[in-house]
Amino acid sequence: MDVIAVKPSQLRVFTAQFSPGARTAWHREPYGRVLHVLYGTGRVQRRGGPVVEVRAGDTIVVDPDEWHWHGAAPTSVFAVLSAYETDGDGSIGRDAAGGTSTGTHGGGADGGGGTEWGSHVSDAEYLQPARTASVPSEDLNRTARREACW
């Protein structure tokens, strides 16, 4: 994982790579997050939603405090570019009990993000049939683009 941060900006950007079958635990961030798939095939799921298969070029917009997980598909490597905002100093987060912590998702001790971690994603959750993420659409200039995955 590589963190890219230029202080005093509150924006943090990093890359994360997953081996086939690897995935995060359920988690949420106070300010949300944008994930852009760089290569490979992955899976993402928001709590209560379907498992969605994502590929290079897909973008996932995670709303503030939305419980979700993401990771590689069972037979593919997967890499994302992740962008999120911090509290400014990058040190305020929440632990599972609702207290503050410096534990972060992708930010390390300097990256911020305030990720709250939940339970591990079970094999039963991970291996649900996945639906395709992106739907090609056209903008006013008739240029093909991809919609955000959810």
Give me the domain span that covers residue 88. Answer: 2-142
Whether 115 is covered by a domain: the verdict is: yes
Whether 105 is covered by a domain: the verdict is: yes
User: Between 144 and 55, whose confidence is greater?
Assistant: 55
Whether 149 is covered by a domain: the verdict is: no
Whether 61 is covered by a domain: the verdict is: yes
Whether 119 is covered by a domain: the verdict is: yes
CA 20 to CA 105: how far, in whole Å? Answer: 20
Number of domains in the chain: 1
**Is the pLDDT reported for residue 141 higher than 50?**
no
User: How does DSSP classify residue 99?
Assistant: -
pTM for this entry:
0.73
pLDDT tens digit string along 64-105? 999 999 999 999 999 999 998 887 655 434 443 343 333 445
Whether 150 is covered by a domain: the verdict is: no
CA 15 to CA 130: how far, in whole Å? Answer: 24
Of 69-78, 102-111, 127-136, the least confident: 102-111
Whether 148 is covered by a domain: the verdict is: no
Of 56-60, 125-129, 131-135, the least confident: 131-135
pLDDT tens digit string along 3-54? 555 667 788 889 999 999 999 999 999 999 999 999 999 999 999 999 999 9
> How distant, in Å, are the alpha carbons of 90, 92, 111, 139, 144 from that of 101?
11, 6, 13, 42, 43
Whether 137 is covered by a domain: the verdict is: yes
CATH value at residue 83: 2.60.120.10
pLDDT average, residue stretch 117-146: 74
